[in-house]
Structure 1
Amino acid sequence: MELKDQWCFACGKDNPIGLKLEFVEEEDTYRTTFTAKPEHQGYDGIMHGGLVSTLLDEVMARYINMKGFNAVTARLEVRFRQPTPLGQQLTARARIVSQRGKLYEIKSELSLPDGTVTAEGKATIAVVEDTAS
């Protein structure tokens, strides 16, 4: 599926200051990787919490978009388990937990290469239109 908006801060290829995330679906999960640099920090050596939230939000909402729906985040919860360091490849994974009508509940996590989870996300994603038909 071709994405229309290439200026998305998280995944847009045309955004010169964007994260340019790329995604893969494997079995029942959706994932992306990202390595935070100094320009992504909050405190010294630690990724800014807003960008941690952005990674989790993007992997969850985009999963529904990838399935052919125009969808937006209706609710986002993030639990920061520990500081997310700069300079390590991070993996954000999402999986669909449930669906009721046009609402999907999705969970995600952000982990370090050794599997340590630094943050967890939960979102309600609302389908606003079906683009698959």
Structure 2
Amino acid sequence: MNTNTEDRNQHCFACGPKNPIGLKLTFREENDTYVARFTPGPEHQSYDGVMHGGLVSTLLDEIMGGYLYSKGLYAVTAKLEVRFRAPTPIGRELKIQGRIVGQKRTMYEMAGEISLPDGTVTAEGKAILAIV
């Protein structure tokens, strides 16, 4: 196991720059919201032209958990709920957003969403994350 802190999480499927098949997400904070942009390709689809629901869920999980990680908190997802509101298309830029909704001791309630450039929300997420 590599303990070099510079190499930590470099192979994360969602954000690791060294993962050859990863999504390579990058993030920024905007007004208490964590934001990433991603354009899915044909390798991310289920049905023709539609992003796989498991990967949609991955984007939501990552934006919510990643926000806490950016604050110096190491958290794991205890519960994840995804509401698919519309098909998430392949080949269109997605805006992924996450924010903190509440906190009770070491548990954080998070919310996230994926939207298209025209503002259409394709998926919403709610999660409970536990600080470890």
Q: For the aligned residues, what is the CA RMSD?
A: 1.0
**Which letter does structure 2 place at the counterpart of 1:18?**
G
CA–CA distance in 1 between the matches of 2:73 and 2:44?
30
Correspondence list, 1:6-45, <5 A: 6-45=10-49
Correspondence list, 1:18-97, <5 A: 18-97=22-101
Q: Deviations over 1:67-90 (max 9, x none)?
A: 001111110000000100111000
Q: How many correspondences in the alignment?
A: 127
Structure 2: 5+ residue stretches without partners = 1-5
Structure 2 length as normaliser, TM-score? 0.94
Structure whose residues are more often strand by fraction = 1
SS, match of residue 69 in structure 1 = coil
Among candidates 109, 115, 120, match of residue 116 of structure 1: 120
Structure 1 residue ranges (4+ consecutive) displaced by more than 4 angstroms after TM superposition: none
Change (3 A) 1:25 1:49: same
Structure 1 length as normaliser, TM-score? 0.93
Q: Deviations over 1:87-117 (max 9, x none)?
A: 1000110110000000000000000010000
